[in-house]
């Protein structure tokens, strides 16, 4: 697979990474551990070198899974994980916490769970309004100097926060949602990343599964699937948003590809330092996503997508109100 470098950092990763959250958390019951270890190893065999996890996924179990699968082939992969949440005694998420001492504790715990000596990319999972971002960046800088972390990242951070953090410790990558059905980053975020030389790692590049074309208004989700709380996944919104999937389907037919591959190829065509991290628990979906790196969209294809997409207003908010409150502006 083609490789990409995240901004000016020198961190080289596969053009398409793998988001690991859904293997343990978020989209229903956790998948079988041995099957997921096999899937993660298959990803490496297919050329994927960039894997994304977080202490919050589970919590904790996803890091353990990734560690079991990838620590034996550590030299072949880049592992990203995240800090920034507080968990109560029952392991329930209980607000944000990016205080320096907590960040250091999380780093040590993540290193143990992942069974590695250094975290390749350590993201602040959500911006903590109670802790100056300069203190957060300074703490990660110390962890880098200690050899526990190699690169610093932010997730869902706004432009002012990115600039302030970058002035203390260069930010290697921003991870935020970006896809054909969530294009807000194009206004201010992407120009800022380009100016500063920061890579962009879009999560949910397939619209939390919607852009695959396999979800319609009658699809039902497991009771523990977080999409049940997302306004954009309300049945009436799904029905309206099918127009975007139909657009991808028409381009896919022309390119002898799948709708999901067009969605990923579109992202890859935006900037050479963009690396999407679609998640999956299925080998055939993994193979499909990896193959998207080889789908070439011409200038004409991109113009057609842009022209048609601009006529399709996407319905529904992308987060519940409580989740939206954690997004930094």
User: In what helix (H) or strand (E) does residue 14 lie, and over which residues does it extend?
Assistant: strand 12-14
For β-strands 199-203 and 171-177, DSSP reports them as parallel
Q: How far apart are CA 129 and CA 92, in angstroms?
A: 20
How does DSSP assign 245-305, residue by residue? HHHHHHHHHHHTS-HHHHHHHHHHHH-TTB----B-S-HHHHHHHHHGGGPPPPHHHHHHH
**Catalytic residue status for 27:** no
Q: Is 50 helix (H, G, I), strand (E, B) or coil?
A: strand
Is residue 40 within 8 Å of 60, Cβ to Cβ?
no
Of 57, 123, 178, 319, which one is the catalytic site residue? 57
Q: How far apart are CA 218 and CA 236, in angstroms?
A: 10
Cα 297 to the center of its chain, rounded Å: 23
- Positions annotated as catalytic residues are 57
């Amino acid at each position: 697979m083609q490789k990409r470098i995240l901004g000016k950092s020198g961190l080289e990763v596969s053009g398409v990474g793998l988001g690991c959250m859904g293997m343990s958390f978020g989209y229903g019951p956790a998948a079988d551990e041995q099957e997921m270890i096999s899937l993660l190893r298959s990803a490496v065999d297919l050329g994927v070198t960039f894997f994304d996890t977080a202490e919050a996924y589970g919590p904790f179990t996803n890091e353990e899974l990734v560690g079991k699968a990838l620590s034996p082939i550590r030299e072949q992969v880049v592992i990203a994980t995240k800090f920034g949440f507080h968990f109560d005694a029952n392991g329930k998420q209980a607000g944000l916490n990016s205080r320096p001492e907590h960040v250091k504790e999380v780093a040590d715990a993540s290193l143990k769970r992942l069974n590695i000596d250094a975290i390749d990319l350590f993201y602040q999972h959500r911006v903590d309004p109670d802790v100056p971002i300069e203190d957060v960046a300074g703490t990660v800088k110390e962890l880098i100097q200690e050899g526990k972390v190699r690169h610093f990242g932010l997730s869902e951070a706004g432009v002012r926060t990115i600039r302030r953090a970058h002035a203390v410790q260069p930010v290697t990558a921003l991870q935020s949602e970006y896809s054909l059905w969530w294009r807000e980053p194009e206004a201010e975020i992407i120009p800022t990343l380009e100016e500063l030389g920061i890579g962009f790692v879009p999560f949910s590049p397939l619209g939390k599964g919607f852009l695959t074309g396999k979800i319609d208004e009658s699809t039902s989700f497991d009771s523990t699937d977080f999409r049940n709380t997302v306004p954009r996944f309300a049945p009436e919104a799904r029905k309206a948003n099918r127009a975007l999937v139909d657009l991808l389907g028409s381009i896919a037919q022309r390119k002898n590809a799948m709708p999901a591959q067009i969605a990923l190829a579109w992202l890859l065509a935006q900037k050479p330092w963009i690396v999407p991290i679609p998640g999956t628990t299925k080998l055939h979906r993994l193979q499909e996503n990896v193959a998207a790196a080889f789908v070439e969209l011409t200038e004409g294809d991109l113009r057609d997508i842009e022209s048609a997409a601009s006529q399709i207003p996407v319905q529904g908010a992308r987060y519940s109100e409580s989740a939206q409150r954690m997004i930094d502006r």
